[in-house]
């Protein structure tokens, strides 16, 4: 069983050196490290070049967003471009880490991850213990969903000693660092995409995690796989970010936050399972969307013009429903 790494970078010169150095110096090496650069305008590509021979650079000619860059990286490292996910020498699934550029892996990360996937053939996605750079504050101990069906990082912003970090199955994964089994990625693929490229950025991790949940794919939080993350390290901060990170974002990011919220619901919301959440959703979104649009009224026009994304989301929902039906038929379960 091999493990490859796909790192998504955009103007990440502050972090890339330590990021790639940690990838290269794992006790159990990655068989391949690919950094997909989203048309950085800083010195990111110069830093990546220093690791030539150990890490590969895919230099994109425009910023195509996190989701598309991740898909490009995944397709690059897959064993036979999605046709055969098995390692020809061992018959085992290979693994792919998809991660931000502002993370640093503990040196034992790959060894622990490989051990977990070898132990459990049902394991599809692994969410590591993600700590801040201070090594004391939890960034994510797996991802849950709130009563408003927003992503909720377990243990977020709490001291490590106060968080339950026992190994357990979780609802979804934190996009800062996720490990996939290749065969699971094939099951998750919709419209020939792993991550939904209509998202551009934000919510793509929750979307793919929710999809995995609907398809019955096992997602495990494993505290032995440790990652250090500089939360929002690639974003400029301002006064408003103290009160709400979302309110402090630039307008184009607010647009994607709102758009992707509803694309996620269109694709993954199931009336028989999620109807009870509707009152909370309506109340939260009334406040949340109102505040975002008041703060950046220019996003209203592109939101109104988002019909093409909504249409595609309904088409992807249909494809996902077919996969769910096939899964229930094969397992003999009902649509609970």
pLDDT tens digit sequence for 211-267: 999 999 999 999 999 999 997 544 444 444 444 555 666 767 888 888 899 999 999
Question: Does residue 14 lie within any of the structural domains?
Answer: yes
Task: Mention every residue, 6+ apart, whose C-beta is less than 8 A from residue 104.
Answer: 18, 19, 22, 133, 227, 228
The pLDDT, as a whole number, for residue 331 is: 72
Q: Are residues 269 and 124 in the same domain?
A: no
The pLDDT, as a whole number, for residue 81 is: 41
Question: Does residue 90 lie within any of the structural domains?
Answer: yes
Q: Are residues 11 and 49 in the same domain?
A: yes
Output 184-190 pairs: Cβ under 8 A, ≥24 positions apart: 184/124, 184/125, 184/212, 184/217, 185/74, 185/78, 185/85, 185/96, 186/82, 186/85, 187/124, 187/215, 187/217, 187/323, 188/212, 188/215, 188/217, 189/82, 190/316, 190/319, 190/320
151-191 pLDDT, tens digit per residue, is 999 999 999 999 999 999 999 999 999 999 999 999 999 98
- Say which residue, 177 or 81, is predicted with more confidence: 177
Q: Are residues 219 and 118 in the same domain?
A: yes
**Cβ 127 vs Cβ 221: under 8 Å:** yes
**Cβ 180 vs Cβ 95: under 8 Å:** yes
- Say which residue, 93 or 56, is predicted with more confidence: 56
* Residue 18: CATH number of its domain: 3.90.550.60
**Cβ 58 vs Cβ 72: under 8 Å:** yes
Tell me how many domains the chain contains: 2
Final residue belonging to a domain, choices 209, 229, 249? 229
The pLDDT, as a whole number, for residue 86 is: 52
Q: Are residues 158 and 129 in the same domain?
A: yes
Domain of residue 30 covers: 3-229
DSSP state of 159: B
Q: Are residues 137 and 16 in the same domain?
A: yes
Q: Are residues 112 and 14 in the same domain?
A: yes
Q: Are residues 53 and 101 in the same domain?
A: yes
Q: Are residues 245 and 182 in the same domain?
A: no
The pLDDT, as a whole number, for residue 34 is: 97
At 116, is the secondary structure helix, strand, or coil? helix
Task: Mention every residue, 6+ apart, whose C-beta is less than 8 A from residue 119.
Answer: none
**Cβ 159 vs Cβ 132: under 8 Å:** no
Q: Are residues 40 and 124 in the same domain?
A: yes
Mean local confidence (pLDDT), 269-293: 90
Final residue belonging to a domain, choices 229, 247, 273? 229
- Say which residue, 84 or 62, is predicted with more confidence: 62
The pLDDT, as a whole number, for residue 315 is: 96
Using 50, 70 and 90 to split pLDDT, how confident is the model at 336?
A: very low
- Least Cα distance to 47 among 8, 77, 14, 93 occurs for 14
Q: What is the pTM of this model?
A: 0.88
Question: Does residue 302 lie within any of the structural domains?
Answer: yes
For 243, the token pair is 């009160």
Q: How far are the Cα atoms of 22, 239, 241, 284 from residue 95, in angstroms, in the given order?
A: 18, 41, 36, 37
% of the chain with per-residue pLDDT over 70:
89
Element containing residue 177 per DSSP (H, E):
strand 177-181
Q: Are residues 11 and 122 in the same domain?
A: yes
Mean confidence (pLDDT) of the chain: 88
Question: Does residue 336 lie within any of the structural domains?
Answer: no
Round to whole Å and give the CA distance between 154 and 170.
9
Using 50, 70 and 90 to split pLDDT, how confident is the model at 300?
A: confident
SS3 content of the chain, % helix, strand, coil (to 5): 40, 20, 35
Q: Are residues 102 and 204 in the same domain?
A: yes
Question: Does residue 234 lie within any of the structural domains?
Answer: no
**Window from 41-45, 55-59, 202-206, 250-254 with minimum mean pLDDT:** 250-254
Final residue belonging to a domain, choices 169, 194, 229? 229
């Amino acid at each position: 069983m091999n493990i490859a790494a796909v790192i998504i970078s955009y103007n990440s010169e502050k972090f890339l050196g330590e990021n790639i150095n940690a990838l290269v110096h794992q006790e159990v090496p990655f068989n391949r490290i690919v950094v997909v650069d989203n048309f950085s305008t800083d010195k990111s590509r110069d830093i990546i070049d220093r690791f030539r021979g150990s890490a590969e650079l895919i230099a994109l000619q425009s910023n195509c967003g996190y989701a598309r860059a991740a898909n490009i990286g995944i397709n690059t490292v897959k064993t036979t471009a999605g046709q055969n996910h098995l390692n020809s020498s061992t018959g085992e699934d290979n693994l792919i880490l998809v991660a931000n550029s502002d993370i640093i892996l503990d040196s034992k990360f790959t060894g622990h991850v490989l051990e977990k996937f070898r132990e459990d053939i049902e394991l599809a996605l692994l969410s590591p213990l993600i700590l801040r750079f201070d090594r004391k504050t939890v960034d994510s101990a797996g991802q849950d969903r709130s009563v408003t069906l927003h992503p909720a990082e377990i243990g977020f912003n709490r001291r490590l000693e106060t968080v339950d970090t026992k190994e357990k199955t979780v609802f979804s994964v934190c996009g800062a660092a996720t490990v996939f089994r290749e065969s699971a990625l094939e099951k998750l693929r919709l419209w020939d995409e792993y991550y939904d490229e209509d998202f551009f950025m934000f919510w793509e991790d929750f979307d793919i995690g929710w999809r995995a949940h609907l398809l019955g794919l096992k997602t495990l939080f494993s505290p032995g796989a440790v990652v250090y993350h500089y939360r929002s390290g690639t974003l400029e901060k301002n006064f408003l970010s103290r009160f709400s990170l979302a309110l402090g974002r630039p307008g184009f990011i607010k647009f994607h936050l709102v758009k992707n919220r509803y694309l996620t619901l269109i694709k993954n919301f199931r009336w028989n399972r999620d109807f009870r959440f509707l009152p909370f959703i309506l109340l939260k979104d009334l406040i949340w969307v109102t505040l975002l649009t008041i703060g950046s009224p220019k996003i209203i026009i592109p939101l109104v013009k988002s019909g093409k994304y909504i249409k595609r989301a309904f088409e992807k929902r249909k494809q996902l429903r077919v996969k769910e039906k096939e899964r229930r038929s094969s397992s003999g379960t009902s649509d609970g």
